[in-house]
Every structure is written in C-alpha cells, then in structure tokens.
Chain A
Amino acid sequence: MTVAEMLSTPTGHNVVHMPDDSAQSILCDHCKLPVPQGMIENEAEHQFCCNGCKSVWNVLHGAGLAGYYSVRDAIDPDAQRVSSTNGTYEELDDPSFQSTCVENLPGGLAQTDLLLEGMHCAACVWLIERLPTVLEGVVESRANIRRRTACVRYNPAEVKLSDVARALDRLGYAAHPARGAAAREARVKEDRKFLIRVGVAGAIAGNVMLLAIALHGGALEGMAETWKSTFRWYSMGLGVLSLLWPGRVFFIGALAALRTRVAHLDIPIALALAVGGIWGSYNTISGRGEIYFDSLAVLVFLLLVGRWIQHRQQRNASDHVELMLTLTPTSALKVNDDGSTSRVPIEAVELGMLVEIEAGGSIPADGIIETGETSLDTSFISGESRPIPARIGDTVVAGATNLRSPIRISVTAVGDSTRVGKLMHLVASASADKAPIVQFADRIAARFVLTVISLSIITLTYWSIVSGFATGIEYATALLIVTCPCALGLATPMAMSIAMGRAAKAGVLVKSASAIESMSKPAMMILDKTGTITMGQTRLVKYECDHQLLVMCASIEAHSNHPIARAIAESIDEADRLEATEINQTIGAGISGTVNTQTVEVGSPDYIGSRYPLDNQSQALVDSMIKDGLTPVVVYADHFGFGVLGIGDPIRDDAGESIRALQSVNWNLRLCSGDHPQIVASVAKEVGIENASGSVSPEAKADCVRDLQSNSDRSVVMVGDGVNDAAALAVADVGIAVHGGAEASLEAADIYLTKQGIAPLVALASLASHTMRTIHISLIFSVCYNAIAAILAMSGVINALIAAIIMPISSLTVVALSTRKWKG
C-alpha cells in the first residue's frame, strides 16, 4: 500500500485494519462483549474476549454452576458480567494481616467478611452462596447484597484465605477482606438495639393507645370509677416502661448534652417526657387529673422512628464508603538475598530492606533507588501532574506510582515515619480538633427550652395564685407535654434522610447530616486541581498536525512505555494503529520508527530540533503549548513536515459548566493545587476561577482552609481527591472527596462523590438548600402548632384528648412536608 493510497482515505481506518466482518459479530461467551480479533480461536467451541472471562466460564462449568447464565440472562440480559482479575491474593495468608480480619470460631473453623466487587443481582447472590461446591473446605458463604459482602466460613486446615479470595475472584468477584471486624460487630449490635427500641416503643404505644381510647370514650360516655382507675394503672405501667426502656435514649442524650454544655434537641424532649411521666404517675396514684401516657408513648415511638430512618440512611452511605476503603492489603515485593522476590504485607517491610516495584505498582515505603530508571507519578502527594523522572540514587516517597519500568529501592523510612505517614497524622489530629457543627434543630433547642420553661413558670405561678398549686402544676405539665418539640425532632431526621437518599441517586454519598446543612448556604469552596477539576491522568490534550501523522506517531509510541508515549498511543484506538518497524528509542529524548515505509521521528522539541531545525510556525506552537501548561512533543516525517502535540492533564468535560453553575448561585470558588503555578493559572483561566494558587504543599492547603475559616463567617468546603488534600478535607467545615480519590481522602471527607467529575456538587448545593428550606417550613408549622397548644394549655382549656390529637397531626404534617418535591 502506498502513502498516496493511504492519504486518499479520510480516516485511514478501513485501509489499515481490514476488518473481517464476521469477526465483529463474535461475542464473548461470558460477558457478551465483542471478542477482539487477536483473541479469536478459530478451532474453539467457545470464544472469550479475555482470559479473565475465560477463567470465570471454566470455573462455572467445571463446578456445575452453568445455570448462572440462564438466570442471569433472565434477570438482566444487558448487564455487563464481571471478569476475573487473576490476582494471587497470597498476601492475605500473612498471620499479622489475618489477625485483623479473620475470626476464629469454635470447632476449628474460621469466618471472614469479604467485600466483593461487582455483586449486584439475584444471580450473583446465588452464585456466591454456591462457593462451597466450588471450593472444598468452605463450609458456608452468605451474601449480603446491600453491603456487597460475603460472610465466608471455612476450615483453615483445608483451605487458605487466599484460596477463598482466589475462588471468588475466579467467579468474577474481586474480593477484599473487610478490616476492623470488631468495630463492625459493635456497629451491628448498635443497629439491632436501635431496631429493638423502635419495635418495642411501637408495640407499647399501640397498647397504650387502645387503653386511652377506652379512657377517652369513658370520659365522654361515663365510666365506672373502678374501671377508670384500672385502665389508668395499666396505662401508667406501659407508659413508664416505654419511657424507661426505649425512651431512655432521650434522657441519656440530654444528660450528655448538659454535661458537655451543648444545646441539643434531646433536652426539651427529655424535659417533657420526665415531667409528663412523673406528673402522670402522681395523678394515677392519687386518682385525679390527667394522665398523659398515651401521648408520651406515641411521642417516644415517633421520635425513634425518625431517628432510626436517618440512622439507616447514614449507615448506607458509610457502608458504601467502606467498600471503597477496603482494598486488598498493600503488599511489597521483597528482594531476597538470592535475588528472588517474595510478596510480603506492607507491615513486614523494614528499614534497609531491598524492595522491588513493578511498572504500574505503587511504592510501599520511602527509599532510595538502587537499580533501574523510571518515571514516577507523585501527583497524589504533590499535586504535580507531570511524571517525574527518577534514576539510581534518587529518593522516592511511599505512595507514588511507578509508571515505566521496574525499580528496586532500599527502604529508608516505613509506616508512620514516611512522608505519607506524617501527613496522615496531620489528618488525624485535624479531624479530632474539628469542632462539630451544631445542627439547626439543636441551635433552636436552646431557645426552645428557655421559652418553654419561662412559659411554664408563668403558667404555674398564675394558676397557683388563681386556683391553687395543684391546678398550677396540672396546667404547667400540660404545657410542657404539648409543646414537646416532637414535630421538630421528627422534621430534621426525616428531611435529612430523604435528602441523603436523593443525593445518593445524584451520585453523592453523605456521611453526616450536618454536612448537608453546611452546604445549604453559598459558601467558600476550595477546589483541588489534579484529579478534581482535571482527570488526573496524562493524556494527549491537543495536536497541531495532520491526523494521519498522529496515527503514525501513535503507532510508534505504542512500542514505548514512557507515560508520555502511552498518552500519545492511547489517543488512537488500538485497532486503528498501524504496524511500525525499526523502532529506535533514545531514553528521555525521543523515538523513531518506520510506518508504511515512512520514517517518523517523535521527541522533545530540543531533541527533534537538534536533528531537523524547527520552522517558525512549529516553534510558535511549542511556545504556546508551554504557556498553556502542556508538555510539547514534536513529531517529524518527510511527507508531512512538523507536527506539535500537547500532552497534559485534560480538564474534565463538566468542570467549566459546573463551576459556572455554582458561581451563579453565589458560591465563592478558589483553586488550590500543589502543581506548577503556570499550569494552575492556565486551568483556572480555562474554567473561570479567578482566585488560584499553585505549588501549595499539603500542609499549606490545610492552613489555607484555616485562614479562610477565621477570616470569614461563611463555611469552607474543600473538594479534593488525593492524600495531599486529606488534611485540608479534615480541617474544612465540609470535606468532599471526588470519585476515584485516595483512601486517605475518603476517610477524611464528610461527603463522597460516586460519579466522575464535579457535576454532582451542583446538585448537592441545590439539594442542600432545598432541604434546609424544607426544615425551616416544618419548623414554622411546628411552632404554630406549639403556639396554639401552648395558649390552650396556659388558659387551662387543654385536656389529654386534645393533646393526643394535636401531637400526631403536627407530626404527620411535618413528615408530609419533608417529602416536598425537589426539582433536581
């Protein structure tokens, strides 16, 4: 084929690839995706797109579990099937690691929770629970679809944990042991206690209400004194039980709030419950006046329901974050004395140990390069988006990614003494120092208590003077009970949990309700650049040359694993690349090769310029790319002349639009990055942020957040993805970790985005202000109800029947209000 022929076709696609049309229709037997040409085995009965799919298929058929496919197709024919990662998981067998995640059961069995990627439907559940038929030694496997975990019981004498993880992986579910078994045990117990309280409170409230209907009916129709008294005693027994068992939490909460001298909604609630309970009991014993046990029992039940719903919603969010946090233990490749390597858990890495890091691997400890030459991605700690070259004798930091070729390092610092370890200390102390946000409802609570107490003192004094002390107490008690902030206590959790559910649908996981409140008013938002506004990856951002030249250039670069070369190669589909021969690589400078009899040279402007002097136009292009913060690459071929490619970290598609949307609702946005100031400035200009600073160290980022907090009465929101943002995320009023962020940033953040890009932030801001408006409206309603009830109580008109009617109505109104529609 000649160059002229090639040029005559616009794309070059059909000419080069010459696809076999029949090949396009061959689909993988496991995942139903097209099988790439290189993978097609003409003789084979079954075709697979990759070895991962092949191994899952083989395992399923070998174990007699092929029924999975029919079920799967019946439920969700379009769903993408997960394929095996073929990892070895041998690091799971280390005893020091197992002690954190494996529980030993009596009878020599062991039990562990494994978080599984890709579990999402009934067929997955079925398959995972058939693990014992696939792997001997596994006794039981129970799936939990909501948490995406499997609880596996196995016999450690017959099967190793790594075998279990490998078997699940071969079924297509990459397995990660869940850390902190003890903490989870405690959480499960707490969840159960919560549920028991709600259930018991409900049962008691129902029974007290039955008795109350008889009493209220009796009050209207007449009732024998004996029976009235019997019913009142039963009511008291149940009411006191409700206050002391499920209702106890309000007293505990109020005491804790009093002890720490913070306002909390539990205080007025506990006050009403206590006074109502005591006076009701006194009235029951003395046989006169109102008993309020029906109202009190319903109050306890409704308040607990609201809190339980919010608790569940928060638990959901933290469970999701937990899955993202629980990664397979970081392990290191230790180089033994005889030169062989073995995988050890990161805890076993010691000072002076020689450790090998494969290309693409992350560096387990700070150290000095002993052998090898590569480039490193240190963006997670410095924010610097460009790959950094590293040679023998250079220092490397733990957590950096080795991009190009294997290196061996001798370890100089491990664990807490590494740079990352010190940063994590900073995160921990910042999280501990952070003042909790006092929720709106709790801020109201302080004023609420004062108002109610002064009103009841007035009532008590007035009626004591007018018609005696007993009447005074009677009316004051009625006042306390009818003004109990039931509606308000229900409004906040209901509105918050509905907001959290809506946020989750929009791609935002909210770990704490107070974060929603802080986001409700336009505030300061500090955005990180690398990985937040930009993709955080090296890509071809723009090119100034013939497309055909780019294709040829990419075909040559495909033979190099330098990060810049990979960025160029990946800009063209693998199928569209041409065959390149006579590849000649000059490390750190350029590469040349022959494509379709054309010699093409690619390299840095200096390298190409030294061989073929650049013309003025190309030089100007190179200069403008440098000005834009891109790394210029020059390509030269005789037929085409020069071409200039700009390599950089491209801005996310939705960034500009989302930032404008936030600015239009008065958010004050800033850009704060560890990257080179020139690059930061160019990105800031591109997305329309005026206030941008570059070369900011992780520690300085946290200081920057603190400065803004002390200089402004608005709350400060930090958005970031990396370890370098973690301290700032922890310090900020609200820390938001973007999708794909580092583990550390997840732990420090209050909110986590589950979708790529920053568009969910816009939805979150609108949702937060909607939610707070809902809570304000509910508050106005409940204050109105309370005001009416208070006037009735103070004037002595109210009786237990009116109280029993007003309270549920106000609560129902508030619940209905909290489902108010959100247009997002």
Chain B
Amino acid sequence: MERVNRVSVLLVMIPAALVLAGLGIFAFVIAAKRGQFDDLDTPALRAVFDEDDMLAKTKTTKDTDQDSVE
C-alpha cells in the first residue's frame, strides 16, 4: 500500500502527459490541415532578405508607390 502511495503522483502525471501529447497532436493536425506543411522550401527563401535591404536601393520610388497603395 505504501508503495502505491509513493508513486501515486503517476496517477496525475500520466494523464497529464497524455493530455499534453494530445494537445500537440491536435495542434499538428490543425497546422497540417491549414497547409502549413504544404510548402517547406519557399518560406526558407522568403526569410533570406530583409525587406529594408531590398528596398533601400530604390527608396524614393517605393515610398510613392506605397503611398498610392495605401
């Protein structure tokens, strides 16, 4: 009986761990269904350049462009 008491924390921990795993699976399924894993190559390239670096060279034209868009 004493042995059961000492490890009885498991009664809470196992369900807690499984609930966490369940949340992970749930998040994964949602992400996959929304297409977050559809394209694994392009986002890596998207991050290569800072918007500012790219546009610095043509700042004036870009500014007027943005104004007209907004």
Contact = CB atoms under 8 A, between A and B. Distances in A.
Contacts of A70: 54, 57
A207 B15 CA distance: 12
Contacts of B32: 192, 195-196, 199
A203 B46 CA distance: 30
A126 B3 contact: no
Contacts of B14: 230, 234
A8 interface: no
Contact of B45 (A125, A133, A206): A125
Interface in A99-150: 121-123, 125-126, 129, 132-133, 142-147
B25 A234 contact: no
Contacts of B66: 133
Interface string B22-51: 001100110011010111111001101100
B16 interface: no
Nearest to A129: B46
B29 A146 contact: no
Interface stretch (A58-66, A406-414, A605-613): A58-66
B12 interface: no
Given A67-B53, A67-B54, A146 B35 contact: no
Contacts of B55: 64, 67
A133 B28 contact: no
A74 to B, nearest CB: 9
Contacts of B48: 75, 122
A144 B58 contact: no
A177 to B, nearest CB: 19
Given A67-B53, A226-B4, A146 B28 contact: no
A192 B25 contact: no
A129 B37 CA distance: 19
B4 A224 contact: yes
Contact of A196 (B3, B29, B62): B29
Centre residue among B35, B39, B60, B64 by max chain A CB count within 10 A: B39
A123 B49 CA distance: 9
Interface in A684-722: none
Contacts, number: 100
Contacts of B45: 121-122, 125, 145
A146 B41 contact: yes
A188 interface: yes
A188 B41 contact: no
B39 A64 contact: no
Contacts of B65: 63-64, 133
B39 A146 contact: yes
Contacts of A147: 39
A66 B66 CA distance: 15
B42 A207 contact: no
Contacts of A123: 49
A373 B39 CA distance: 51
Contacts of A129: 46
Contacts of B58: 61, 64-67
Contact of B28 (A144, A145, A196, A234): A196
Interface residues of B, number: 38
A259 B53 CA distance: 61
Contacts of B28: 196, 199-200, 203
A739 to B, nearest CB: 24
A200 B29 contact: yes
Given A64-B61, A125-B42, A145-B42, A227 B29 contact: no
Contacts of B33: 192, 196
Interface in A38-92: 61-68, 70-71, 75
A230 B12 CA distance: 12
A191 interface: yes
Contact of B54 (A121, A126, A199): A126
A124 to B, nearest CB: 9
A144 B35 contact: no
A133 B69 contact: yes
Interface in A215-249: 224, 226-227, 230, 234, 238
A68 B10 CA distance: 59
Contacts of A200: 25, 28-29
B57 A66 contact: yes
Nearest to A60: B58
A142 B32 CA distance: 18
A46 to B, nearest CB: 15
Most buried by A among B38, B58, B60: B58
A339 B70 CA distance: 47
Contacts of A142: 42
A126 B49 contact: yes
A27 to B, nearest CB: 20
Given A125-B45, A144-B42, A207-B17, 20 more contacts: A61-B58, A64-B62, A67-B53, A67-B58, A71-B54, A122-B45, A126-B49, A132-B69, A143-B42, A145-B41, A188-B35, A192-B37, A196-B29, A199-B25, A200-B29, A224-B3, A224-B4, A227-B7, A230-B10, A234-B14
Going nearest first, the 9 A-B pairs with the smallest beta carbon separation are A64-B61, A67-B54, A122-B45, A64-B62, A122-B48, A64-B58, A145-B42, A66-B58, A146-B41
Interface of A: 61-68, 70-71, 75, 121-123, 125-126, 129, 132-133, 142-147, 188, 191-192, 195-196, 199-200, 203, 206-207, 224, 226-227, 230, 234, 238
13 contacts: A67-B57, A67-B58, A70-B54, A71-B54, A122-B45, A133-B65, A146-B40, A147-B39, A191-B38, A199-B29, A203-B24, A207-B21, A227-B4
Interface of B: 3-4, 7, 10, 14, 17-18, 21, 24-25, 28-29, 32-33, 35, 37-42, 45-46, 48-49, 53-58, 60-62, 64-66, 69
